[in-house]
Chains A and B, each alone.
Chain A
Amino acid sequence: MSEPLKDFTTVVPFWQPRVTPVELENATDEQLQAMRVTVSNTKIGEYTLVLALDPETLQQRTPLFNGIMYGRGGLSRAETELGAVASSVVNRCIYCAAVHANRYNELTKTETVIGSIFGSIKTAPEDTELDARPTALLDFATKLSKCPPEATKADAERLIENGFSMGEVLDLVLSASLFGWANRLMHVLGDPLPKD
């Protein structure tokens, strides 16, 4: 078996669970409902099959996740993805960071922001040369993702100064916080393996 990936990448890895997932053919009605299995939707990922072991939380978590990441209005899709990346870098969740860095690059048609984030990890965050708005976003989301959270009033003010509406700040709080949740599942319950 290949070794788990240790370095950040924008190539989405395969996620290898460390616990035994639900087998779709043996799933209970509650598990099927929580996984949103329907006649037209029978391709269920390993991650969902693992979380279906606890269907009560999965039932709430899936619409929560979709609402935060894909809800209408508020923060742009790309900046919502950047909040997810910031958390995933703090928590070193290689899988989540890859998925959401990849989506950010697709949405923005640029690789410089992610390249700067991943590149700066080996040096220092202040060495990144990004525009003021993504810098304010990344600083806030990174500090909020620490334990205990380190974001301050000054960090929130900097978001407002850089043109974030209150609705956009809320969406950033939700995106970074959501990945405080997602990272603690993906990074703890499985390994990111190279897809080959």
Chain B
Amino acid sequence: MDIFETVVAKAAGLTSDSPLKGALTLRSDILELTENSHEASLRPIQPGNLTHAERAGLACRMAKRNDEPVLVRHYETLFGVGSQAVANTEFDGGDDARLKAIIRHTDLVTTNPKEATADDITALRSAGLDDVDIVRLSELIAFVSYQVRVVAGLRLMAEVA
């Protein structure tokens, strides 16, 4: 895998002539696993009840919550039917109770995870998610939260290199 073709390196604007090349090459295994995690979170072989289109929309929404416009544009390239609505931060799920619970949870855990309680897991169950879907959603939120910070950090490193 070319580390400069990974989502995080491209989003941070890094190219193969970057002064960070040495440091990044020493951690090429991490960049590769980060890319694999992106695929497993956004386009899993077994998406369960959380479709690829919903995942892309939620990831885009999370990138917006993190003021990360480059990743917003990246996630827009993965959009399918329905992603656009989910990614709209003005949209709360409307009359769709399941989607509403997913969006509420995603916003909460993305922006303010310390406020999450056992009641928030109960709310997802009440909206029809089973425990497998709850873990799938949690991994998606957690992965994107990791990814936005890696990108922000790489960008700062490039500024001081």
The A-B contact count (CB < 8 A) is 169
Tell me how far the C-beta of A43 lies from the nearest C-beta in chain B, rounded to whole angstroms: 21
Q: How far is the CA of A153 from the CA of B19 in the complex (A)?
A: 16
B160 with A156: CB separation less than 8 A: yes
How far in angstroms is the closest Cβ of chain B from A50? Answer: 6
Instruction: Tell me the chain B residues, 130-161 only, with Cβ under 8 Å from chain A.
Output: 131-132, 134-136, 138-139, 141-143, 145-150, 152-154, 156-157, 159-161
Q: How far apart sit A156 and B154, CA to CA, in the bound complex (Å)? A: 10
- Stretch of B22-30, B76-84, B86-94 at the chain-chain interface: B22-30
Query: Measured between C-beta atoms, what is the minimum distance from B153 to chain A in Å?
Result: 3
**Interface positions of A from 9 to 28, Cβ below 8 Å from B:** 18-20
When the two chains form their complex, are residues A177 and B150 in contact, meaning their CB atoms are under 8 A apart? yes
Contact between chains at B156 and A156 (CB < 8 Å): yes
* Size category, B interface: 35 or more
- Give the size range of A's interface with the partner: 35 or more
Q: Which of B22, B40, B113, B146 interacts with A56 by CB under 8 Å?
A: B40
A residues neighboring B (CB under 8 Å): 18-20, 50-51, 53-54, 56-57, 59-61, 63-64, 67-68, 71, 73-74, 90-93, 144-145, 147-149, 151-153, 155-157, 160, 165-167, 169-174, 176-178, 180-185, 187-189, 191
